[in-house]
Structure 1
Amino acid sequence: MYNTKDPFNTSQIQISKPAVKQNVKFVKKLIGKNVKLSAVVKGNAYGHGIEQMVEIFESFKLTHLSVFSAHEAFRVCQVKHPNTQVMIMGWLNDDQISWAIENDVEFYVFDIDRLSEAIKRAKEIGKKAKIHLEVETGMNRTGLEEKYFPDAIKMMSENLEHLIFEGMCTHYAGAESISNYLRIKDQIELFGRYLEEFKKHDLVPNIKHTACSAAVVSYPETQMDMVRVGILLYGFWPSRETFIHYLRSNGFNEKGKEKSSDPLKRVISWKSKIMSLKDLPMGEFVGYGTSYQAPKKMKIATVPVGYAYGFSRSLSNQGRVIVNGKRVAVIGTVNMNLMIINVSECKEVKKGDVVTIIGAQGKVKVTVASFGEMSNLLNYELLSRLPMDIPREVVD
């Protein structure tokens, strides 16, 4: 179960390549043949590992990757195929703009300062900057506001020899929830109007892209020329509402067949081993403080994974893991480097037995969603918090 190249780790994450293949196939079917799919690998590829996921996505002919920062883009560039495009959606400083231009990395422009700097750096380097103009339509995060359009239009029109208007884009404010329906519809309409404004001045982007995972499912009209899909490719729905919308849109009634009808496959599993075992007398407390007292004689085990490794402290006396095909409870307070579990019901348990933190043993499963329910964390948050130094192994 452990990567022999790194025998010193306390746990390991496994990435299922067949699961990714299924998820890519599903998304491609949703968007059709004429829409480009950009795989989002920000947040260390949602905790799955940038380097591993770039290789997997490329093996399934995905040649456009989206990241948040120049640092993430650099990591992608270290391992990607030369023909794969990289797009930075967020942070890069002025010097990193030069690096992006030199390395054909595309990047968002969402304010006048970045547009000005991109033009300046492109002139200095003698190479065109590949920009995606992000416009503000109601998310109120990043995005060029309408009042700055005249300045942007003037700057772009006067410097076309230094720019490639690669894309025009926006981001929707909560497409995963029906409560945001009117807000999203307003954004869709506004984006269309803003696009026409730039077209009037002969500024036509090569591609238009606005859809994230949730919008791809719930607002198919937003798919346009390209979609930026993250969480779906890793086997998770943006929200339960999005999943229900998919089911209803595909002919399932309200009762549905939700478990058997889920087309997505979870990509990640996370495993460790039992570090030590102990017989605990009735009445004894477990770990720090007095949060758990043994109601009877018990057998307990320690596992070398704690909150420093991404297993939240909020899962104290709440979490579940699997040992020898049995789901068992985390008891006591989760420590920085370890947790304690109740293995009283596990037959012939011994040191070194596999502990599945996320994943399955036979028919018994512990899902990322169950972590969210117990710790009040989103799938996105829990996954992206998994430390980068936990080794990731790709399995076929």
Structure 2
Amino acid sequence: MFATSEIELDQTALANNLNYIRKVIGKDVRLSSVVKGNAYGHGIFEFVPMAETLGVDHFSVFSADEALEVTNISMHRSQVMVMGFVDNAELEWAVLNEVEFFVFELDRLEKAIEMARKVGKKARIHLEFETGLNRTGFIKTDLVRAVEFLKKNLDHFELMGDCTHYAGAESIANYVRVKNQIKKFNKMDKWLRSTGLEPLVKHTACSAAAISYPKSRMEMVRIGILQYGFWPSKETFIDCIKHVSSREDPLRRVMKWKSKVMDVKEVNTGEFIGYGTTFMASENMKIATVPVGYSHGYARSLSNQGRVLIRGKRLAVVGIVNMNLLIVDVSECPGAEKGDEVVLIGDQGDNSISVSSFGELSDQLNYELLTRLPRNIPRTVIANETLTNQIPTNGLSKA
């Protein structure tokens, strides 16, 4: 059976992006690859081995089930860090499998130490500080209690790191707030170390912070959207290029999402296209149907706004995006026929459809559209044999 669309992942593009990120963060800063949200829609099972081949050996996820997926597919027993949800019932598994996890409240900390005692292994924890996002993280008074508890249980944990998360580093509107968070984190880190507890690494930077706030890079950065070839925002991209002579985008899109033309037909002037009356042909038109709709991650809000590539031409989506298909005006491409490749995200000829262009048209963030791509879309890695043979698989996440 053939899927209605497929996703290709370009290993050469990923290598380019990782090399760029490593140049930005410097050789002494570790890179943790963020693969939450099914690797931002790219697919954990496809992306993790591809990244490991390029030297990545540390992955960040949101939840324990994602951590399990990474540990199941990892080729090199890479380190895995859970930044968000771990149910108390999952802590035993995490400790047994040496999965690292954030601790931001006392109940999780106490249960983690209890599981560590039970299984005879140390819990690998990262203390998260509340610095101004007001989401998760220890405030100072609770951190004092956490430290008192930890100092009574020194044999049952490894303090892998201390960390925080910024409140919108991708927007200049949050500049003062983020700067204050950096100051507060450093103050809390200094206090923690004064108690005798020494985190192995301090880490606070996401993709946007790593680009826009050099002081946030510290000893490790948690890079998500950048590695996939997308920018957190236009402002972040401007921060990247404003100090260099070239204005070209240094990133390459790892993903190409494509489908095929399912049918081609003629529509006469004055006829409506698709459901309802949202689009009427103002002249005789040629249209193509594509078997991708909002159930496949192509937003209904892109009705009469979206763009696709067919035979190298950028063409308009007309009418309402259905659950299972969309309609394209191919009048400018008279040779279009059944079976032609349709690029929904990615390059074809000299043209490109970027996720950011979707965002501008549908009020979706890069992150939102990518992570909504269903898991059942087949994903294929386009491997580069030269890269696979030349790049060592250990330690390059620190390069």
1: CA distance, partners of 2:297 / 2:288: 19
Aligned to 1:157: 151
Answer yes or no: is 1:353 the counterpart of 2:340: yes
1: CA distance, partners of 2:135 / 2:15: 33
1: CA distance, partners of 2:140 / 2:287: 61
Q: SS at 1:205's partner residue?
A: coil
1: CA distance, partners of 2:130 / 2:235: 26
Aligned to 1:326: 313
Aligned to 2:163: 169
Q: Deviations over 1:373-395 (max 9, x none)?
A: 10011111111111111011111
| Greater relative CO, 1 or 2 (CA 8 Å, sep 6+) | 2
Aligned to 2:355: 368
Q: CA RMSD in A?
A: 1.1
Q: Which of 88, 95, 106 is residue 112 of structure 1 equivalent to?
A: 106
Aligned to 1:231: 225
Q: Which of 27, 47, 52 is residue 33 of structure 1 equivalent to?
A: 27
Displacement after TM superposition at 1:217 (Å): 1.0
Aligned to 2:8: 14
Paired residues of 2:52 and 2:76 also in contact (CA < 8 A) = no
Given residue 29 of structure 2, which amino acid in structure 1 is its aligned partner?
Answer: V
Q: SS at 2:77's partner residue?
A: coil
Q: Deviations over 1:133-184 (max 9, x none)?
A: 0010001111111120221011110011111111100011111112211111
2: CA distance, partners of 1:83 / 1:198: 30
After TM superposition, list the pairs within 5 Å mapping 1:240-251 onto structure 2: 240-248=234-242, 250-251=243-244
Structure 2 residue ranges without an equivalent (≥5): 384-399
1: CA distance, partners of 2:312 / 2:217: 43
Query: Larger deviation: 135-144 or 237-246?
Result: 237-246
TM-score of the aligned structures, taking structure 2 as reference length: 0.94
Displacement after TM superposition at 1:82 (Å): 4.1
After TM superposition, list the pairs within 5 Å mapping 1:171-210 onto structure 2: 171-210=165-204
1: CA distance, partners of 2:377 / 2:254: 16
1: CA distance, partners of 2:143 / 2:136: 15
Q: SS at 2:257's partner residue?
A: strand
2: CA distance, partners of 1:285 / 1:10: 25
2: CA distance, partners of 1:27 / 1:366: 23
2: CA distance, partners of 1:364 / 1:243: 20
Q: Deviations over 1:214-249 (max 9, x none)?
A: 11111111111111011110111111111111222x
Q: Which of 373, 376, 379 is residue 389 of structure 1 equivalent to?
A: 376
Aligned to 1:144: 138
Give runs of ≥4 in structure 1 deviating > 6 Å: none
2: CA distance, partners of 1:383 / 1:197: 39
Aligned to 2:304: 317
1: CA distance, partners of 2:316 / 2:305: 7
Q: Deviations over 1:283-307 (max 9, x none)?
A: 1111111101111111111110000
Q: Figure out how many residues of one structure are paired with residues of the other and give that number.
A: 383
2: CA distance, partners of 1:137 / 1:325: 48
2: CA distance, partners of 1:314 / 1:214: 27
Aligned to 2:65: 71
2: CA distance, partners of 1:308 / 1:204: 48
Structure 1 residue ranges without an equivalent (≥5): 1-6
1: CA distance, partners of 2:146 / 2:12: 45
Q: Deviations over 1:257-302 (max 9, x none)?
A: 53xx221111111110111122112111111111011111111111
Aligned to 1:265: 252
Identity of aligned residues (%): 53
